[in-house]
Chains A and B, each alone.
Chain A
């Protein structure tokens, strides 16, 4: 039977469209438990490829015949080997082109909604890593927020939409993934903004992103306004777009809140985090739609694949916004924190411009889930 290639884009469609898929993940157990392809209706079998060198007979009864079977490994080589063995045993089987490496890199642009005067807001969902980037488009101009390192995805998208990228923002100095913001700005002549309190050690020029700064995008003057909202980092800044959307960066997620320990001591910033979530955000309109910079679990995706929810609903439903006692809040965000993201200290150095690893090294640093939240 045949071995068929499946691309990360095709897997992404299956996630978003809630399709079934059986994943035979042939990476070692630790790698699988740490990080895998998450889908609403996916089933899994994890057997390391090195346990299948003598044959796949043992696992054949476990592979379903009524749905697609996708073999997945880190980079592709092992999944292709196992897929060929399964195929020789008489079964149709898919393998993931480029492995988890390409899954981690894939971005799916999804329209979140329309803005005043014909503008549009897009969310770029990086399913494999849980990163979310944004592009505000209005009459020939664009602003980008929290771009990941695959800069061509954004510049090509802008070309397709026939818009010029004018402003590029990072809500904070990221620790879980490498930012593409500075490079997009360099390539397009756009202005690159970074919160100065997060940028004390950066070695490149940037425009300070201060509380209250407002830029206008396009002739219809879509407003992108900055709101200082520290807690995940000391500089963390949110954006209000067109009085309709609240881009929260890594401060507030759909089903969790930001962790305060990735750039310093959790104890130092827990007060800021509390202040932002329980005071500053409380003063905002509850009808704002929250658009975070990450999702952690697949349940945070809406039916159309976007990650977005009304602020008022989050006040009601998000556990992290409903901890009355300050003491308990402090415990929640400083005790029992999840493991830190892979290579987070190195990633911060890259984002400060202090080190410039090549593409393979960047891929290696970004392996694994983002882990920016506490639940």
Chain B
């Protein structure tokens, strides 16, 4: 999977991970992929819900230690 941009939102608390994700997503083209790294557990349900509501697609999601990674395709 080609990642066009990586956003480090580790250590940020709600709502900042989503605020930053949205800003980063606004700079991407349709079909491009953003990798978001977060540590806030609230993001586990909020990022997919936000993506769905914005028409974006979560391609993949992983958890390593405390870091949760989302790969989001802009829609």
Contact = CB atoms under 8 A, between A and B. Distances in A.
B14 A31 contact: no
B14 A75 contact: yes
Contact of B53 (A30, A31, A48): A48
A48 B13 CA distance: 16
Main secondary structure of the interface of B (DSSP, over half): helix
Contacts, number: 41
A51 B19 CA distance: 11
B42 A74 contact: yes
A50 B42 contact: no
Nearest to A99: B14
A191 interface: no
B13 A75 contact: yes
Interface in B36-61: 41-42, 45-46, 49-50, 53
A223 to B, nearest CB: 46
Contacts of A51: 50, 53
Contacts of A75: 13-14, 42
B46 A50 contact: yes
Q: Which of B13, B41, B46, B53 has the most CB of A within 10 A?
A: B46
A29 interface: yes
Nearest to A49: B15
B15 A78 contact: yes
A243 interface: no
A53 B14 contact: no
A29 B52 CA distance: 12
B16 A77 contact: yes
